[in-house]
Amino acid sequence: MNVNDDFNLKAVAHINELVWQASPSAGVMRKPLDRVGDEIARATSIVQFEPDSVFEPHEHPEGEEIMVLDGEFSDDSGDYPAGTYIRNPPGSGHAPKSQKGCTLFVKLRQFHPNDLTTVRIDTNEAPWYQGMVTGLTVMPLHEFDGVNTALVRWAPNTIFNPHVHPGGEEIFVLQGVFHDEHGSYPAGSWIRSPRYSKHAPFTQAEGALIYVKTGHLG
Sign of CA dihedral 8, 210, 47, 77: positive
Return the pLDDT at 160. 97
Q: What is the pLDDT of residue 21?
A: 96
Number of domains in the chain: 2
Please identify, among 122, 138, 158, the residue that sits at the C-terminal boundary of a domain: 122
Per the confidence metrics, is the pTM higher than 0.95? yes
pLDDT of residue 161: 93
Give me the amino acid identity at 121. I
- Whether residue 103 is found in the same domain as residue 156: no
Q: Do 55 and 91 fall within a single domain?
A: yes
Can you give the pLDDT at residue 130? 98
CA distance 22 to 108: 17
Based on the fold, state whether residues 107 and 155 are members of the same structural domain.
Answer: no
Residues 140 and 115 in one domain: no
User: d(Cα 10, Cα 89) in Å, to the nearest integer?
Assistant: 27
**199 is in which domain, residue-wise?**
129-214
Render each residue's pLDDT in the chain as its tens digit; 218 residues: 899 999 999 999 999 999 999 999 999 999 999 999 888 889 999 999 999 999 989 899 999 999 999 999 999 999 999 999 999 999 999 999 999 999 999 999 999 999 999 999 999 999 999 999 999 999 999 999 999 999 999 999 999 999 999 999 999 999 999 999 999 999 999 999 999 999 999 999 999 999 999 999 97
pLDDT of residue 171: 98
* Residues 115 and 157 reside in one and the same domain: no
Examine the fold and report which residue of 122, 141, 156 is the final residue of a domain before the chain moves on: 122
Task: Say which residues have a Cβ less than 8 Å from residue 6's Cβ, sequence separation at least 6.
Answer: none
